[in-house]
Structure 1
Amino acid sequence: MTEPDYLAIIKERGQGALDIKMGIEMLEVSPQRLVARMPVEGNTQPIGLLHGGANVVLAESLGSIGTQLHAGPDRKIVGVDINATHHKSATSGYVTAVATPVSLGRTLCVYEIVITNEAGQRTCTARITCLILNKE
């Protein structure tokens, strides 16, 4: 059985308004691994560093998309917990996020998201837990 073209599914569905505002670009998509990048420019705090909240938006987008792909189109996804540890600042270029599942269950999914700068240095580690619900 051939695996679905998850990136095509995501592109067909379209991005959320916040992902578009943040400039998030999905590069690789499956329930087992998601990769995206986001520009630092336009997502900074007043002193020019990438805003910590921007890291969280990026992490939540990947974890939610991964959970939706795992659960299928007939289920609804809601984030119930997210945390992020900021290790290093980013001031220019892009950051890249790689999300991998910690647990893919019937009702809960947990992803770890590692965000790095263009030099490959880890700038943030996040973890999100998503709840899988029946569509109403």
Structure 2
Amino acid sequence: MKYTNQEILAACNKMCQNTLMETLNIEFTQIGDDFLIAKMPVTPRVHQPDGVLHGGASVALAESVGSAGAYFFLNSDEVTIRGIEIAANHVKSIRDGYVYAHASIIHKGRTTQLWQIKITNEDGALISLIKLTTIALPNKK
């Protein structure tokens, strides 16, 4: 079944309810043919002790947007997506505002997918660069 971009964004945001994504206030905002974007507020809830964005929160944001992208771009209700490898480089700190995760698909295989996620601040400066590999597992019947 083919979904519209607005339907996909609505479904992504609905999937966040009662999950870590809701706890982190992640909101999916844009989608294109080969990318998905989500934003997350940078507040004390996602800070490390010295008052800057925790790298783990950045990685959680990246895996959330990459996994959601894999699920919808495969366009199949017959699979479950799991992250199987993630690597992050944190290059700039941020204390407040929003960060934006722009997930672009590098490889769209039937079983494995490779994603690049750039996390930027509101001015477009790179905060983290993350590579995510996902796997599509068949749903158990």
TM-score using structure 2 length? 0.88
Q: What's the counterpart of residue 85 of structure 1? A: 89
Contact 1:84 1:124 in 2 (8 A): yes
SS in 1 for 2:28: strand
Q: What amino acid does structure 2 have at the position aligned with 1:21? A: T
1:55 aligned residue = 58
| Structure 1 residue matching 2:87: 3-state secondary structure | strand
Matched, 1:127 2:138: no
Partner of 2:114: helix, strand, or coil?
Answer: strand
Q: 1:10: which partner in 2? A: 12
Divergent runs of 4+, >6 A: none
Q: May I ask how many residue pairs the two structures share in their alignment?
A: 134
Mapped pair 1:65 → 2:97: no
Mapped partners of 1:115, 1:6: distance in 2? 21
Structure 2 CA distance for aligned equivalents of residues 62 and 31 of structure 1? 15
Instruction: Write the distance in 2 (CA, Å) between the matches of 1:54 and 1:116.
Output: 13
Identity of paired residues, percent? 37
Whether the 8 Å contact between 1:31 and 1:69 is mirrored in structure 2 is no
Name stretches of at least 5 consecutive residues in structure 2 with no aligned partner.
none
Tell me which moved more, 29-38 or 111-120: 29-38
Determine the C-alpha separation between the residues in 2 that align with 1:118 and 1:130. 27
Unpaired runs of at least 5, structure 1 = none
User: 92, 96, 106: which one pairs with 2:100?
Assistant: 96
> In the alignment, residue 64 of structure 1 is paired with which amino acid?
S
How far apart are residue 119 of structure 1 and its match?
2.1
Supply the AA of the counterpart residue of 1:89: S
> Is the contact between residue 45 and residue 51 of structure 1 (CA under 8 Å) also seen in structure 2?
yes
TM-score, length of structure 1 as denominator length: 0.91
